[in-house]
Structure 1
């Protein structure tokens, strides 16, 4: 079998979400493929942070910022220097003029559902132009890719429906638990940050996360008296809007902003939460649900297709558009006996084994070898 020269655009490895995907996939690929030559393109400051045992994995400094004109114009020339048989772009930001073969991972199609100015901090005309450019890149990436990977069947169906991509061109390779997160969870003695009962939300505050609706629910007297809300996520872009809303509703004693949490802090927060709550209108996979279930915490989640796909009927679902229904599920969860909660979590835990980085890496490598 011919030894292939494989490129992997890992510039986003330090970011949340897609960064975990890149890190875990590369780690597992390095354990199962000692043959093919890998050229891993990283930002200079990430080079010392990530090491691979196999000598066939080569780290290359690439300080070209993503979603820029530089990325579109410079990347094709840089990548061609390495005479690569295939490049894996783990995000849809593929250079329009790259002539070589590539595989792309699409995590979600949220871009197709955010058409208003609420989804940005930019002036609307600039946002509109930027969005159109991103859409052009996404369409080209999907049409020209030799294979498309996605992290759920729900996203696969959307790609087929929105862009008329043949079904056999798309392969579902699920997300899984971060290996470092698992190791840390097994040896930590959890620290308690708050002296009260709370629901935990983990993630960013983009409009599709539906946090404004959740905060409105926290303004209900029946909820306020029984439980608080803790929001854990990087304090940028849209969180300031939510803080302003909390101030206006005088909910400072009901809604708490933890800010960006390390894995250790996140485990602490999960461990002491009454439940995780995810009111998203759309998701690609929903990693916090997996983290919570792994730690024995019950998620309360939106009744959306991807969550049903991943979890079946093992979680507690609510209509994310209906404040009364969100309130209903919160009160229902607070009233559940501990034994019932344990039973529900145990049911959800039976589904965890379906998601492993080893399987995702094996399926991804098979695609590399086929091309």
Structure 2
């Protein structure tokens, strides 16, 4: 069977999506020596994927994701490969590709929050982009032979928007593995951390709800009396700089540290020595960072919506992400209650063990075989 995988997002440059693609492809090389795989890579990640397996073939694609070239030239490359099945690990399936394919849908965030604040484009151009998004994702979902949803929440979301595809959705959870060790002799002063701290890691897109987190943190200072810090890790792109600017104007930054980008290998140390990890998003398709934090013994505070209660179960302390007072109360509670933190650490260790990348890849491969039969 000739199977194609769109791996142009392979690697860390595409954040969570890149991690998913990388773990899928890497684990398929370990478990499948029978099918032929055509791995479509970009110039940026061509060297990142290396394998000596004779049934895996690299194919260079120069069209970037979400581009016009993706829609026009990528299908030509795919047709030339004469595939039996193509797997798109994201919704951006070329409209002109009409051979058998399957798609992974991670979330429908843009469908829920078509916010012009989530882009650097002019408003008119963003509206055009939104139209293209709706056209492409509808086509991907309707025309696919199978849809993988990364959580039951995402499955239900797809069914709500596209009820006619309910019978071809399969839920396969993302995986997890410890890739880096934390430092036993951590020097946190290089991040300007000099007090016990809470940690938040990720981008500053509007649905990540970081502005409301900062408002809640300011409110909590009345009880915390400047004895703790909130450490926010994320690349200072347009969205993060805007967040910092707006928060500065509103005087929300007392005892807040912005580290900018931190390498993957250094994150475990920040996880390990934090009092808790805060996940305030309005919507997450899976919530992998929380699982990673749990593996380093970090208690989790999480929004009580979308996929997070499903993925974290009873191993997290929840709050209403739309209620500043509730967020603030939960921040104070986790800081002041040592026994609660210890309990969540133990539950977190148990919870993260149920997610496995190789198991995920095996289930995906089984779907490949089902579609071939």
Q: TM-score, normalised to structure 1's length?
A: 0.94
Query: Partner residue of 2:304?
Result: 303
Q: In the aligned structure 2, how far is the partner of 1:367 from the partner of 1:97?
A: 23
Does the CA-based 8 Å contact 2:104-2:149 persist in structure 1? yes
Q: Displacement, 1:224?
A: 6.0
Q: Return closer, same or farther for 1:116/1:252 CA change in 2, 3 Å cut-off.
A: closer
- Deviation of the 1:53 alpha carbon: 3.5
Say whether 1:185 aligns with 2:181. yes
Q: Deviations over 1:215-261 (max 9, x none)?
A: 11222232462322111122213101111023213344422211122
Give the Å deviation of 1:59: 1.1
| Rounded Cα–Cα distance in structure 1 between residues aligned with 2:268 and 2:241 | 24
Equivalent residue for 1:8? 5
In 1, Cα distance between the equivalents of 2:144 and 2:250?
A: 48
Offset at residue 165 of structure 1 (A): 3.5
Q: Find out whether 1:258 has 2:259 as its counterpart.
A: yes
Asked if 2 retains the 8 angstrom alpha-carbon contact of 1:212 and 1:242, the reply is yes
Aligned ranges for residues 245-324 of structure 1 at < 5 Å? 245-324=246-325
Q: 1:310 to 1:252 in 2, by over 3 A?
A: closer
| SS of the residue 1:79 aligns to | helix
Which residue pairs with 2:50 in the alignment? 51
- Helix, strand or coil at the partner of 1:45: coil
C-alpha contact 2:277 2:301 (8 A) present in aligned 1: yes
Q: Structure 2: how far apart are the matches of 1:252 and 1:210?
A: 15
Q: Which residue of the partner structure matches residue 101 of structure 1?
A: 100
Displacement of 1:91 in angstroms is 0.6
Q: Show CA shifts across 1:54-97 (max 9, x none).
A: 21111111111111111101111111111011111011000001
Question: Structure 1: where are the runs of 5+ without partners?
Answer: none
Question: Is 1:136 aligned with 2:132?
Answer: no
The aligned counterpart of 1:336 is 337
Partner of 1:151: 150
Cα distance between partner residues in 2 of 1:136 and 1:45? 27
Is the CA contact 1:30–1:53 (under 8 Å) kept in the aligned structure 2?
no
What SS does structure 1 have at the residue aligned with 2:341? Answer: helix
Q: SS of the counterpart of 1:205?
A: coil
Instruction: Assess if the C-alpha contact under 8 Å between 1:174 and 1:355 holds in 2.
Output: yes
Question: Quick check: 1:363 aligned with 2:363?
Answer: yes
- 1:264 is paired with a residue whose SS is coil
1:308–1:351 CA distance, 2 compared to 1 (3 A) = same
State the Cα RMSD in Å: 1.6
Counterpart of 2:44 in 1: which secondary structure?
helix
Deviation, 1:142, is 0.2
Alignment of 1:200-215 (within 5 A): 200-215=199-214
Give TM-score scaled by structure 2 length: 0.93
User: Is the CA contact (8 Å cut-off) linking 1:246 and 1:255 kept in structure 2?
Assistant: no
Kindly tell me the number of residue pairs found equivalent between the two proteins. Answer: 364
Residue aligned with 1:345, SS: helix
